Amino acid sequence: MIARVGMPRPRLAPVLCASLVAVACSDSSPTAPPPPPLPDAGQTVAVGQNGLPRFVTPGAAAGMENQVTVNEGATVTWRFMSGGYNVISGGRPDGGTPEDCLPDGVFCSPGDQGCDGGVPPQPAGTFYQRTFVTVGDYPYFSQPGCLQGMSGVVHVHQPPADGGAGP
């Protein structure tokens, strides 16, 4: 055996490990795009469920499917099950007919822009969210669905003082 004086001994382990890590991290397979964001766990309303012009809140009592009750600060999500509809705050004046649905400018899909008119229909598979921070009743409708009775109400209540789950 020949002794090497003054020359460092080669260290292959760190080089080999670094090479293996680089190979393992440089997978050339394409990565899938991230899934679209999901709405939060608040109340959800299905818009145009099963191709019908209507709003349906899953789990709501019969005859109350188009109504949502939440605590202030909660978010409501409208999921567009069928294309061609939108969500516009407002509704019928007292005693008005379905043709009288009028926007009130408070909120609308897709991004609360132009809520006094000209709200575009949304494609199937998309959603619109609104967080309600003030107690009250918020009527809404869809164009052209309002002519077919497609309207609803979000009832926003103050959370119970005892910290319970509320509505």
Most confident of 15-19, 39-43, 120-124, 157-161: 120-124
Q: Do 132 and 112 contact (CB within 8 A), yes or no?
A: no
Is the confidence at residue 79, as pLDDT, over 70? yes
Helix (H) or strand (E) holding 153: strand 151-157
Model confidence at 164, pLDDT cuts 50, 70, 90, reads low
142 half-sphere exposure, CB direction, 13 A CA radius: 29
What b-and-e string marks burial along 56-65, b requiring 16 or more CB atoms within 10 Å of the CB? bbeebeeeeb
Model confidence at 92, pLDDT cuts 50, 70, 90, reads confident
Higher pLDDT, 30 or 36: 30
Q: What is the mean pLDDT of the chain?
A: 77
Q: What is the pLDDT of residue 167?
A: 55
Higher pLDDT, 163 or 118: 118
Instruction: Classify residue 161 by burial, with Cβ atoms within 10 Å: 0-12, 13-18, 19+.
Output: exposed
Model confidence at 165, pLDDT cuts 50, 70, 90, reads low
Higher pLDDT, 94 or 132: 132
Higher pLDDT, 12 or 128: 128
Q: What is the pLDDT of residue 129?
A: 95
> Residue range 148-164: average pLDDT?
83
Instruction: Classify residue 105 by burial, with Cβ atoms within 10 Å: 0-12, 13-18, 19+.
Output: middle
Residue 65 phi, psi dihedral angles, 5° rounding = -60, -25
Model confidence at 126, pLDDT cuts 50, 70, 90, reads very high
> Residue range 100-122: average pLDDT?
89
Model confidence at 97, pLDDT cuts 50, 70, 90, reads low
Model confidence at 12, pLDDT cuts 50, 70, 90, reads very low
